[in-house]
Amino acid sequence: MPDLILSSKPGSEKLYDQLSQIAPTVLATNSGRSGDWPDHFRLYAEALGKAEQAELLLQDYQAQVTQLRQKLTQPEMTKISVISPFEGQPWTYTAGSFPGSVLQAVGLSRNAAQTSTNRYATRLSKEALDKIDGDYIFLVYSDYVPGSFNKEAFISDPIWSRLDAVQQDNVCEVPNETWIAGRSILAASEILTDIEQCLGPAE
């Protein structure tokens, strides 16, 4: 039997009474996919009696953000696109998503289709190529998502190959498990590492 149950309202609110009979249950307001992961982290840490440790970890994360911003050359001038191809069509992840919150912290800009903070993702047709381009594309890939495909398949598709980022070889394959499903301080830190490896430090 667990001593404590941590979850979120979108996934567990209807089960709250049942879960509470098993163990004390703490539900975050949202799922974290909209970039509110620091609030969830603090909530869960407080429930575990580790609020001070959580703040120290958040300070470390902020220091990592600051270091990366200093390494990149004018990050605000670099336009980033985050795409997750699924069943032949792209899902674009916005500034209001979990990865969007990390990109925003670093100061990187987003393309026109991904500046919204009202929703975390938008599905586009292949014909809307100009809306998903950028200086760099982070291609989210997962072995566990049917219809997902890797960088080689992406850049070899004649439709996708017209994108500027593809032609400049600025497509970086990143894991779904971190970028989309992670929604945690560990995943946010990994995203920072992926950004640095993809964009490269300033010379």
Note the pLDDT of residue 145.
67
Contact (Cβ atoms closer than 8 angstroms) between residue 32 and residue 98: yes
**Over 80: is that where the pLDDT of 71 sits?**
yes
Q: What is the pLDDT of residues 82-122, one digit of tens each?
A: 998 776 678 899 999 999 999 999 999 998 888 887 888 88
What integer pLDDT is reported at residue 203 of this predicted model?
42
* pLDDT tens digits, one per residue of 145-194: 666 677 887 788 888 888 999 999 999 999 999 999 999 999 999 999 99
Q: Which residues contact 29 (CB under 8 A, 6 or more apart)?
A: 8, 9, 36, 39
For 70, phi then psi, to 5°, come to: -75, -25
Query: Residue 7: phi, psi to the nearest 5?
Result: -155, -160
Instruction: Determine the Cα–Cα distance for residues 157 and 153; give it in Å rounded to an integer.
Output: 6
Q: What is the DSSP letter of 78?
A: -
Q: What is the mean pLDDT of the chain?
A: 88
- Cα separation, 21 vs 24, in Å, equals 8
DSSP SS3 for 202: coil
